[in-house]
Amino acid sequence: MGPQQTDHRTGNNAVSYGEITIATEFEIRRLMTLPASDLLGRSRNAAWAYGVYLGWEKITRGRRMPEDDERLHRLTRAHEPG
């Protein structure tokens, strides 16, 4: 391992819950606002956004705040009526 590399298994350069949550929200919002010319494109973008949410959910299991979970999940549902 070179001087510029970090062994992430040791916890060096750890990322906080807040940083993970902010990055997740940013990516969900980006995916949900990507231009899509048809229903298939919108469905694909929403599925990718939901996948980002599921990744966050798995990484933060046991540490996540309920309000963050509700907010991020709701963002992935923004395309649904009502």
How many independent structural domains does the chain possess? 1
**53 Cβ contact partners less than 8 Å away, ≥ 6 residues apart:** 24, 28, 72, 73, 75, 76
Which range of residues forms the domain containing residue 61? 21-76
Q: What is the pLDDT of residue 61?
A: 94
Q: Does pLDDT of 7 surpass 90?
A: no
In a domain, residue 12? The reply is: no
Q: Is residue 31 part of a domain?
A: yes
Mean pLDDT across 62-75: 96
> Is 65 part of any domain?
yes
Looking at residue 11, its pLDDT comes to 58
Answer whether 0.85 is exceeded by the pTM. Answer: no
User: Residue 8 domain-assigned?
Assistant: no
User: Is 38 within a domain?
Assistant: yes
Determine, yes or no, domain membership for 39. yes
In a domain, 64, yes or no: yes
